[in-house]
Amino acid sequence: MEHSDAVRQALEEIDIPAARAWYKLLFPHLPQPRDDAETLASIHVARTYSETIGFRHRAYSHRWCLERGLPSGLPDHMKPRAERIYPRIVEAVGISVNTPDSRRELGQAIQKAMSDAVMDCYAQGKTNPEFVKARMQEARTRVLKG
């Protein structure tokens, strides 16, 4: 098996130990990945650039890189197709406060409290919908009682 075939196989299979070994062999003059996470990131970036890797693998790595703020080498003409295969998932929370016009200030206070509760949940990394909904309801109740 030639070097290029073995490297391509390591990239396609996301074989971290093999990729580290090939990196060390082929690029000893460059800084080596410090850990498996850094190696994994370099594998995904390399997959987006490689023309010998299948499109589905490149598209997956493109999405993986974008989600982590890493560069993607996928050519511009391939990006729309990759976005259709692996679309970006966006989380959202809807807040609806139904108060009469005469109580508009109360409605705005409830909306702000609920919005702040959502932001606190996401800042803590707690994005479970049931958890977020419960915190929103607690914030609403606090404003209504106060």
Tokens coding 40: 């994994």
Minimum mean pLDDT among 33-42, 69-78, 81-90, 106-115: which range?
81-90
Residue 6 has pLDDT above 90, yes or no: no
Q: What is the pLDDT of residues 66-82, one digit of tens each?
A: 999 999 999 999 999 99
Instruction: Report, as an integer, the average pLDDT of 139-144.
Output: 93
The pLDDT of residue 65 is 95
Instruction: Report, as an integer, the average pLDDT of 32-37.
Output: 93
pTM: 0.64
Sign, CA dihedral 56-26-6-38, equals negative
Residue 87 has pLDDT above 90, yes or no: no
Angle between helices 3-13 and 16-26 in degrees, nearest 10: 140
The Cα 32–Cα 38 span in angstroms is 9
Backbone dihedral region for residue 69 (phi beyond 0: left; psi -120 to 50: alpha; all else: beta): left
The Cα 52–Cα 64 span in angstroms is 19
Cα 50 to Cα 13, 17, 113: the distances in Å are 14, 19, 49
